[in-house]
């Protein structure tokens, strides 16, 4: 999803599809997945400025921030994984284990 929303990727590898077409394709994929029984849609989004603010508040000097922390997709992926694991637990574990 990140690639298809990236203008540079669409121009070089996405056969030049427009931003509107890419959003339409994503919406169609979501609609298709939503019609399949037993599937849930999970997303995660982090604004770059929110991430930067949160990270920089933990460091005395901005130069101490590692390059890996500059990429919101890294944190979105971890948030996505956490949400998916919580959903799996909610839908597959006995009720007494869900409250932990």
Q: Residues 63-93: pLDDT tens digits?
A: 666 666 666 677 778 888 888 888 888 877 6
Whether 89 and 96 have beta carbons less than 8 Å apart is answered as: no
Residue 80, both tokens: 């996505």
Torsion of CA 55, 60, 66, 70, to 10 degrees: 30
- Asked if residue 97 has pLDDT above 60, the reply is no
Query: Who has greater pLDDT, 80 or 18?
Result: 18
pTM over 0.85: no
DSSP state of 3: H
pLDDT value at position 71?
Answer: 65
Residue 21: per-residue pLDDT: 92
Residue 77 main-chain phi, psi, to 5 deg: -60, -45
Instruction: Indicate if the pLDDT at residue 16 is higher than 80.
Output: yes
Helices 72-92 and 48-56 meet at what angle, rounded to 10? Answer: 100
């Amino acid at each position: 999803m990140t690639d298809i929303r990236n203008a540079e990727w669409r121009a070089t590898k996405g056969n030049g599809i427009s931003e509107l077409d890419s959003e339409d394709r994503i919406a169609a994929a979501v609609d298709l997945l939503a019609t399949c029984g037993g599937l849930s849609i999970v997303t995660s989004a982090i604004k770059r400025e929110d991430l930067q603010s949160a990270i920089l508040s933990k460091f005395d000097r901005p130069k101490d921030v590692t390059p890996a922390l500059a990429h919101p997709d890294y944190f979105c992926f971890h948030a996505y994984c956490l949400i998916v694991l919580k959903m799996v637990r909610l839908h597959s574990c006995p009720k007494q284990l869900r409250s932990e």
